Structure 1
Amino acid sequence: MIVRIMGEGQVTIADSDIDDLNVLDGELESAIESGDEGVFREKLHALLDRVRHVGKPLPDDSLEPSELILPPADASMDEVRQMLGDSGLIPG
């Protein structure tokens, strides 16, 4: 899966990493539902850090379409809430 973190570029994520990312995505959704800004910020950073860790960067000149777009690390809770789909930020 090709993932773009807004403002950072694209990475390729192996299918085997999606379940771990979905756990973090669920924790982020819970933080948004609770309205806890501190926990939200922690969970957003944990999700993005994990994507950066497991993802393999695509070259800057790559023109591959992103299958998933994640918010930047400085996104507000409202911005992330608007990006959430029926299954969170990461489908699956």
Structure 2
Amino acid sequence: MIVRIMGEGQYRLADEKLDQLNSVDGDLEKAVSAGDEDAFKTAFAALLAFVRNGDRVPDDELHDSDAILPPGDSTLAEMRELISGDGLIAG
């Protein structure tokens, strides 16, 4: 699975990490739904850190992204507009 963080690049995550990725994404969705700023910051930082622990795809390689995350400086209000009932990561 390839995940892009906007303004930063792409990361390759092993397929067996998908359940864990969805769990971290679920925590973010709950924080955004609750409008909890502190929980949002913690959950979004955790999601970005999880993705960044994957293998960085070199900038000169082009791949379709399976998921696209907003930049790390995104606000709770911006995230509220992006998240559907399934979070940022489909599945």
2:38 corresponding residue in structure 1: 38
Query: Equivalent residue of 2:26, what SS?
Result: helix
Which residues in structure 2 correspond to 1:15-34 (within 5 Å)?
15-34=15-34
Q: Any idea what the Cα deviations from partners look like across 1:16-42, whole Å, max 9, x if unmatched? A: 001111111111111111111111011
For these two proteins, the number of residue pairs brought into alignment is: 91
User: How far did residue 89 of structure 1 move?
Assistant: 0.7
Query: Which ranges of structure 2 fall in alignment gaps of 5 or more residues?
Result: none
Where do 4+ consecutive residues of structure 1 move more than 6 Å?
A: none
Amino acid at match of 2:45: H
Number of the residue aligned with 1:48? 48
Offset at 1:78? Answer: 2.0
- Structure 1 alignment gaps of length 5 or more: none
AA aligned to 1:26 is: G
Sequence identity percentage: 51
Which one-letter code corresponds to 2:38 in the other structure?
G
Paired residue for 1:12? 12
Q: Distance in 1 between matches of 2:46 and 2:11?
A: 16
After TM superposition, the score normalised by the length of structure 1 is 0.91
Aligned Cα RMSD in Å? 1.1
Q: Which amino acid aligns with 1:31?
A: A
1:11-70 CA-partner distances (Å, limit 9, x unpaired): 1111100111111111111111111111101100001101111x1111111111212101
Structure 2 residue identity aligned to 1:78: A
- Structure 2-normalised TM-score? 0.92
